[in-house]
Chain A
Amino acid sequence: MNDRIKKLRDQSLNAINRLDAERALLVTNFYKSGIDSKVSTPVMRALTLNHILVNKFICINEDELIVGERGSAPKATPTYPEINLHSLEDLEILDSRHKVSFKVDEETKRIYREEIIPFWKGKSNRERIMRSMAPEWIEAYNAGIFTEFQEQRAPGHTVCGNKIYHKGMLDLMKEVRDAATQIDWKNDPLASIRNEELKAMEIAANAIILFAHRHADKLEELSDEPGNSQRKQELLEMATICRQVPAHAPRTFHEALQNYWFIHLGVITELNPWDSFNPGRLDQHLYPFYKKELEDGTLTKEKATELLQSFWIKFNNHPSPPKVGVTAQESNTYTDFCLINLGGVKPDGSDAVNEITFLILDVIEEMRLLQPGSMVQVSRVNPDNFIHRTLKITKTGFGQPSYFNTDAIVKELVRQGKSLEDARNGGASGCVEAGAFGTEAYILTGYFNLTKVLEITLNNGTDPLTGKKIGLETGPAELFRDFDDLMNAYSKQLKHFIDIKINGNNRIEQIFMEYMPVPFLSLLIDDCIANGKDYNAGGARYNTSYIQGVGLGSITDSLTALKYHVFDKKTISMSGMLKALSQNFIDFEELRFEFLYNTPKYGNDDDYADAQALSVFELFYAAVDGRPTARGGISRINFLPTTSHIYFGSVIQALPDGRKAKEPLSEGISPVQGADKKGPTAVLKSASKLDHLRTGGTLLNQKFTPSFFDDEESIEKMTALIRGYFRMNGHHIQFNVISATTLRDAQKHPEKYRDLIVRVAGYSDYFNDLGEDLQNEIIQRTEQGL
């Protein structure tokens, strides 16, 4: 990287994460003016965005080429009091906590104490949600049966498509006006709502143009200051770019990147949507600009690289907004889950790998930044050299990019009813979630603790941790005559809690529809404009709500141990088993040894154990898939944990698989940590017995020592491993390439490993920022022996 990039990258790496009260203050003052009682909610939200964008501080960092910061400086992170209101105590925790801290200065605390908290107390969306939830939802939520994504952040979970590369905001405003003229005032009962929504979209589109123009003004101002003439020239060029985009469609590579970046800032300033926002298929979007400009001689490969590197730094400047009521465990990450997609297929199904794909891989390798995350889409039509190149980055132990099966993703999306072309324009975002980019709102609603439901089943509806009856009385476990009795009871209990979760989801969707429209995001995702409907109200072409199953390995091994020892081999009675679990295996150490070492386990390509994974999959699928949601969407399942398997483990006592109380559960569809003894192919075989095509994503983590990537021959073997898994419809695989010795040393000497990034569960994070238990878990994960 050149000096400019090195400087900007250092600035980004060294910037202190801090809380920035500017947005909260602007929003609060705007609401205080009382305008909200005079206009509709969508219009109020659009005017709020406009108020922020025309008043916020314009930050232009020295020597940068892509401009725009969400806060007043890199890593100055705004808050969203209309969604979740930080208490003074929250601010103290954020400021002082050891991991993933956000510095909060006295002035910010004062603003919160005097302005923000008094105004928003009782009015934030989080409080609105919590007030609306049924008592059984609250009980299940408190017991750790499930989590709720929208409690602290707005639903986002979407990815930008191709539209912004050939349409400017002025074009979209025209579309909005056209849509408004199409409103059927006579027959459409929603006519006035549509009209308000479209009005709001137009205001939002105009706001982002004003925001860009303010940057242009500032750039011109800076160019008047004394300094070197080359930079002056640059500043003027950048000003021109900011007057072109996003008002008009981009014409050049540089404009395309700057255009996306303004739009990105618009989305993450409007609200705090999940996964921030994401350019998605970046190599596809940029290729036409790159090709044309190379031919015209207006761009070089070096210049394109520098611009991409600048773009990467921009993402890294924007940590995920801090939550409230935080525990380090539940939200200890700065990652905001942007996931750049590379490769895959074109809309006609042909190989989409191009020169930009490889150029971006170079950028990823050289920049080594936490954000944006990156992944490669691997289709059978993609060449092997694309995988080889990527594996060489994986080998460096950086944890990126991860590997996704395009052919499976397309089939998953088509099964859900998307057109083939929309499916091929899709990919994965967040951790592993499949989606149709530019056309789908695919909202994650919460993690679901599949294993906790077993614990409650074994205790006849009571949570042994609290003694509260929160589930159904499915009968005392001691009276189950056979394994089928147990599974029937589990099935009823699972359905019971899924019903509670889905009822809650529907209520929360209604709240967002009514109170928190996002007119700016709605401009970007088709067909919100044509439908005259907000993104949060089901305006997108496709609307999906996911529940994420967690702990598949743990529930599978627990059920298998029950089947094997209680019902098949009868090594122990059910009451003996329950006693051992309630005593956390104290005085039952020999039994625990049997459970750990002499019991079939998921992840070894052993049908006896894997059968339980399939049963749980089917029950979960049947309970969720296809159920309609409030905004006109459909409920679906996927399997990913982020870090929730640690939280979910902490609310469960000992399990029949030999896991002791409060230890983490397994993550994604990976086997229980250390349970896989037959090597990676057996893990992949076990995992592929699940029907990935009926999910919206699964996460599989495999740890390898760097030696598996040593030479060309090893790289080819790893390629074959990926290809083999994908041939069996595996959705995703990621590699943690690191030695356990290194990790232990990093635990002892964090100061020496400040740049150590590991893949946690679908995303990468700094090892130092992980909690000790998560660090231990990563160390323990079976290293595949040679």
Chain B
Amino acid sequence: MNKGLIFDIRRFTVHDGPGIRTTVFFKGCPLSCWWCHNPESHSCYPEESLKSLNLDGKKFSLKEMIGKWMSVEEVMSELRMDRIFYTESSGGVTFSGGEPLMQSEFLLELLKECKANNLHTTLDTSGYTDRGIIENIQPYADLFLYDLKLIDDTDHIRYTGVSNKPILENLIYLISEEKQVIIRIPVIPDITNTKKNIKAIIKFLSHLVNERKSASSIKISLLPYHSIAKNKYSRFHIDNKTMHLKDLTKESLIPLKNEFEAEGFTVRIGS
């Protein structure tokens, strides 16, 4: 039976799509973005981690396995647990990561099973995958949360480790298929939030607008940078290249929001 490597399943997630959701975090990612919030998701293998805890003046370490091979049924039994809350909130399940499309066969089985259970499905993805895969997957995903980071390919390779070519092409494909897509732009000072990059993103998105697709139908979420994952980097001994960056407030993104809105796009700050 097909198994997937999952590093967390979190219930009552309220920022990964509409309503109350359960989010499945896939382990393994082809990208290595400097600002990643889930650095423990990068590797495609289970990892052991020790969490140090104080109790009664003594130090204890709690062994945790980051990443667990799970069957479709095992994941589904977790996903079914909060059905009553999905119903009440028009919520559902979200597949995130890591990059769920890296385990596309497992993901496809899960998505099909969710649809068989009439659950709303959201896919949170970098979009870095083959066209064939995205074509197979998209009929079973009700909503895409699709990251758009850098338009200049050299920059993209520098800050994420991969080319953005398939990412941009797959996004154009999904939009042309009239899928529900929310484009998520991580706003990282000096990296994605440069005049040049923002201009390029606007230009790229404007090309998606045509007679059938109005600008306002293009939905954008601006995600302000925050250093919430700082501790994770040191815990997993991963080099954190954005250590020096300061957190952005929601308010500080208002000018940027205005800039996108001036082009007619539908924009919100935060997920």
Contacts and interface: CB of A to CB of B under 8 A. Distances in A.
Contact of B85 (A590, A598, A681): A681
A685 B12 contact: no
B19 A724 contact: no
Contacts of B15: 786
A728 B84 contact: yes
A593 B55 contact: yes
Contacts of B56: 585, 589, 592
Interface in B52-106: 53, 55-56, 58, 60, 62, 81-82, 84-85, 87-89, 91
B187 interface: no
A717 interface: yes
A728 B83 CA distance: 12
A720 B58 contact: no
B58 to A, nearest CB: 5
Interface residues of B, number: 21
B20 A717 contact: yes
Interface in B125-151: none
Interface of B is mostly: mixed
Contacts of B175: none
A43 B8 CA distance: 70
B19 A717 contact: yes
A723 interface: yes
B11 A681 contact: yes
B10 interface: yes
Nearest to B228: A786
A670 B55 CA distance: 23
Given A592-B56, A593-B55, A681-B20, A720 B12 contact: no
Contact of A717 (B62, B81, B84, B89): B89
Contacts of A786: 14-15
Interface in B3-53: 10-12, 14-15, 19-20, 53
Given A592-B55, A592-B56, A685-B82, A720 B11 contact: no
B58 A679 contact: no
A784 B13 CA distance: 11
Nearest to A708: B14
Nearest to B85: A724
Given A605-B81, A720-B91, A724-B85, A714 B14 contact: yes
Contacts of B53: 593, 597
Interface string A562-601: 0000000000000000000000010001101100111000
A597 B62 CA distance: 8
Contacts of A590: 60
Contacts of A592: 55-56
B11 A682 contact: yes
A714 B20 CA distance: 10
A596 B55 contact: yes
A786 B15 CA distance: 8
Contacts, number: 66
Contacts of B81: 605, 681-682, 685
Given A681-B20, A717-B20, A724-B84, A593 B89 contact: no
Contacts of A597: 53, 60, 62
Contacts of A6: none
A721 interface: yes
A708 B15 CA distance: 11
A717 B81 CA distance: 17
Interface residues on A, range: 20 to 34
A321 interface: no
Contacts of A784: 12
A679 B12 contact: yes
B125 to A, nearest CB: 21
Contacts of A495: none
A720 B10 contact: no
B12 A724 contact: no
A251 interface: no
Given A597-B62, A681-B85, A717 B11 contact: no
Contacts of B20: 681, 717, 720-721, 724
A220 interface: no
B11 A727 contact: no
A680 interface: yes
Nearest to A722: B88
A501 B88 CA distance: 42
Given A589-B56, A592-B56, A681 B12 contact: yes
Contacts of A728: 84
Nearest to A596: B55
Contacts of A721: 12, 20, 85, 88-89
Among the interface residues B60, B85, B89, which one has the most CB atoms of the partner chain A within 10 A?
B85
A674 to B, nearest CB: 12
Contacts of A362: none
B89 A589 contact: no
Contacts of B88: 719-721, 723-724, 727
A752 interface: no
Nearest to A727: B84
A680 B58 CA distance: 31
B13 to A, nearest CB: 8
Contacts of B87: 724
Contacts of B89: 716-717, 720-721, 724
A719 B85 CA distance: 10
A20 to B, nearest CB: 49
Interface string A189-208: 00000000000000000000
A585 B58 CA distance: 13
B20 to A, nearest CB: 6
A592 B58 CA distance: 11
A733 B62 CA distance: 33
Nearest to A590: B60
B55 A679 contact: no
B82 A681 contact: yes
Contacts of A585: 56
Given A585-B56, A592-B55, A679 B84 contact: no
A598 B64 CA distance: 11
A589 B85 contact: no
A27 to B, nearest CB: 54
Given A720-B19, A727-B84, A680 B60 contact: no
A709 to B, nearest CB: 11
Nearest to A585: B56
A596 B58 CA distance: 14
Among the interface residues A598, A720, A721, which one has the most CB atoms of the partner chain B within 10 A?
A720
A720 B82 CA distance: 12
Among the interface residues A592, A714, A721, A724, which one has the most CB atoms of the partner chain B within 10 A?
A724
A678 B62 contact: no
Contacts of B58: 589
Contacts of A589: 55-56, 58, 60
A678 B55 contact: no
A739 B181 CA distance: 35
Nearest to B18: A713
Contacts of B82: 681, 685
B37 to A, nearest CB: 12
A685 B83 CA distance: 11
A589 B55 CA distance: 8
A727 B53 CA distance: 39
23 contacts: A589-B55, A592-B55, A592-B56, A593-B55, A596-B55, A597-B60, A597-B62, A678-B11, A679-B10, A679-B12, A681-B20, A681-B85, A685-B81, A685-B82, A714-B14, A717-B20, A717-B91, A720-B91, A721-B88, A721-B89, A723-B88, A724-B20, A728-B84
Given A681-B12, A681-B85, A708-B14, 13 more contacts: A589-B55, A593-B53, A593-B60, A596-B55, A597-B60, A597-B62, A678-B11, A680-B12, A714-B14, A717-B19, A721-B85, A721-B89, A724-B85
Per CB-CB distance, the 7 closest pairs between chain A and chain B, nearest first, are A720-B89, A720-B88, A679-B12, A724-B85, A723-B88, A724-B88, A681-B12
